[in-house]
């Protein structure tokens, strides 16, 4: 059958119908919520700001997925654990600084040191992961790599559980981040700002530096990049280090908002960030940032916006459903992700 000059088959029509129904449900729910005026404008703004902060964290983690996918065509399922390793390790520094009464006396230098430590630990874990788990398998079939990634993910979770215990640790409070600024939680502003700044720095790094260009060259064509004199192994290690340190910063930002860390904290943000990377078009750096923010905001606004309107109780607990529904919708209508290119024309 032909539609709009394109050939389509029956399964595609069914998928589109499912997509259309989901889309309609979202629309009906939203309209009915908005008509009942259940929430004030201020409340909506709060949802959006919270979503943007959460989304900034997703975006930072998603960058690691997308960059590693770019150079190795590998979904690094252990990336959520890379994020956890930094945040969890930095907790001990934060607690020590708090005990020494330094954290609230010099909050900004302390936070920078904490972020630095977290980034360093995450980068180290990511680089070791590449060196030990992925590099020996560079020529192995992809399924082998995928299984290795999942194995590495469990390995890291339980290593950190062994190291730091299975309890939930609570990050110390930081006095200057308490309270509001123009009616918005200061923490959220700091998280949003830091995430945007990090994304900007990363973009400049990838577009503007020689190493960034080498990463892009490998993403396009590994062998030709090597012919140009790019040290492929080194550049791949740098990619893991960059993605890892970004995830480490995301870990500290996460701890600022949610105050809690434990060995399992990487799983859900990791899955969400992976979702964000796929939504944006895996392999595409601006796409990962866009996907992260979109997912964060959608997730924060969605339960109140359309689930309430549909009369679904306890809508807030369903935000994960929303995240993955959004993923399904995007993949139905744009299989390559929002900014992705057609995978078929890429190297296999």
Partner 1 sequence: MLTLNAIHSYYGQIHALKGVSFTVEKGEIVTLIGSNGAGKTTTLNTISGLIKPRSGEILFEGQRIDNLAPHEIAKRGISQSPEGRKIFGRMTVRENLEMGAFNRKDQAGIRHDLAQILELFPRLRERFNQSGGTLSGGEQQMLAIGRALMSRPRILTLDEPSMGLAPILVAQIFKIICDINQQGTTILLIEQNAQMALSIATRGYVLETGQIVLQGPAKDLLASPQVRKAYLGG
Nearer to partner 1, 161 or 213 (CB): 213
Q: Where are the alpha helices (DSSP H) in the chain?
A: 10-36, 41-72, 79-99, 107-128, 142-164, 186-208, 210-220, 222-227, 232-258, 267-280, 285-302, 319-333
d(C-alpha 260, C-alpha 262), whole Å: 7
Shortest distance in whole angstroms from residue 215 CB to partner 1:
12
Shortest distance in whole angstroms from residue 147 CB to partner 1:
22
Nearer to partner 1, 232 or 321 (CB): 232
Shortest distance in whole angstroms from residue 231 CB to partner 1:
5
Nearer to partner 1, 76 or 284 (CB): 284
For partner 1, the binding residues (CB under 8 A) are: 210, 213-214, 216-217, 220-221, 223-233
Shortest distance in whole angstroms from residue 19 CB to partner 1:
29
Nearer to partner 1, 6 or 210 (CB): 210
Nearer to partner 1, 78 or 214 (CB): 214
Nearer to partner 1, 265 or 289 (CB): 289
Residue 122's Cβ-side half-sphere holds a number of Cα atoms within 13 Å equal to 34
d(C-alpha 46, C-alpha 177), whole Å: 17
Shortest distance in whole angstroms from residue 288 CB to partner 1:
16
Decide: 196 and 249 in contact? Cβ < 8 Å.
no
**180, containing H or E segment:** strand 180-181
Shortest distance in whole angstroms from residue 143 CB to partner 1:
18
Decide: 79 and 273 in contact? Cβ < 8 Å.
yes
DSSP assignment of 11-80, as one string?
A: HHHHHHHHHHHHHHHHHHHHHHHHHHT-S-HHHHHHHHHHHHHHHHHHHHHHHHHHHHHHHHS---TTHH
């Amino acid at each position: 059958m032909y539609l709009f000059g394109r050939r389509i088959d029956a399964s595609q029509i069914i998928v589109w119908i499912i997509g259309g129904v989901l889309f309609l449900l979202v629309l009906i729910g939203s309209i009915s919520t908005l008509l009942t005026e259940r929430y004030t404008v201020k409340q909506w703004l709060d949802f959006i700001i919270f979503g943007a902060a959460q989304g900034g964290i997703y975006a930072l983690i998603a960058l690691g997925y997308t960059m590693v996918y770019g150079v190795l065509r590998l979904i690094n399922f252990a990336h959520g654990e890379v994020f956890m390793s930094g945040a969890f390790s930095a907790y001990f520094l934060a607690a020590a600084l708090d005990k020494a009464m330094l954290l609230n006396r010099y909050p900004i230098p302390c936070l920078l040191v904490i972020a630095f430590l977290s980034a360093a630990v995450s980068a180290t874990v990511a680089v070791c992961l590449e060196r030990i788990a992925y590099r020996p398998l560079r020529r192995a079939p992809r399924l082998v790599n995928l299984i290795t990634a999942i194995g590495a993910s469990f390995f890291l979770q339980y290593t950190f559980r062994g190291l730091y215990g299975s309890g939930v640790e609570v990050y110390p409070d930081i006095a200057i981040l308490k309270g509001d600024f123009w009616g918005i939680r200061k923490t959220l502003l700091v998280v949003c700002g830091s995430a945007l700044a990090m994304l900007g720095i990363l973009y400049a790094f990838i577009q503007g530096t020689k190493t960034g260009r080498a990463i892009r060259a490998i993403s396009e064509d590994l062998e030709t990049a090597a012919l140009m004199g790019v040290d492929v192994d080194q550049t791949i290690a740098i990619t893991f280090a960059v993605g890892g340190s970004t995830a480490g910063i995301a870990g500290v930002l996460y701890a600022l908002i949610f105050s809690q860390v434990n060995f399992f904290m990487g799983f859900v943000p990791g899955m969400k960030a992976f979702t964000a990377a796929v939504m944006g078009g895996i392999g595409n750096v601006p796409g990962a940032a866009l996907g992260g923010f979109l997912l964060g905001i959608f997730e924060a606004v969605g339960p109140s916006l359309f689930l309430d309107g549909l009369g679904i109780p306890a809508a807030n607990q369903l935000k994960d459903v929303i995240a993955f529904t959004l993923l399904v919708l995007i993949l139905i209508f744009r299989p390559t992700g929002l900014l992705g290119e057609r995978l078929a024309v890429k190297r296999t």
